[in-house]
């Protein structure tokens, strides 16, 4: 599982995360992010990766189900 957080506030934020898994393994980021089902909104990914939304849509088509 991929985790993503974004600070939508106007001040600096501090975050502490503790993650574990009973089924640890390898996760391919491209498949998990651009091929997720249901898909992540292209506008969110475009902002997170500083890409054009059309590029994100192409990547989702390539990695999607």
Q: What is the pTM (predicted TM-score) of this model? A: 0.60
Q: If we measure between CA atoms, which residue out of 8, 27, 11, 30 comes closest to residue 19?
A: 27
Q: pLDDT digits over 5-58, tens only? A: 778 889 998 888 776 666 666 677 888 889 988 888 999 999 989 999 999 999
pLDDT at 25: 67
pLDDT at 3: 72
Could you give the CA distance from residue 23 to residue 9 in angstroms, rounded to a whole number?
A: 34
Extents of the domains making up the chain: 1-65
Q: If we measure between CA atoms, which residue out of 54, 50, 3, 46 comes closest to residue 62?
A: 54
């Amino acid at each position: 599982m991929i985790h993503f957080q974004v600070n939508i506030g106007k001040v600096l934020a501090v975050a502490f995360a503790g993650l574990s898994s009973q089924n640890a393994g390898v996760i391919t980021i491209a498949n998990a992010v651009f091929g997720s089902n249901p898909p992540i909104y292209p506008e969110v990914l475009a902002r997170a990766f500083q890409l054009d939304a059309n590029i994100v849509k192409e990547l989702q088509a390539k990695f999607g189900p």
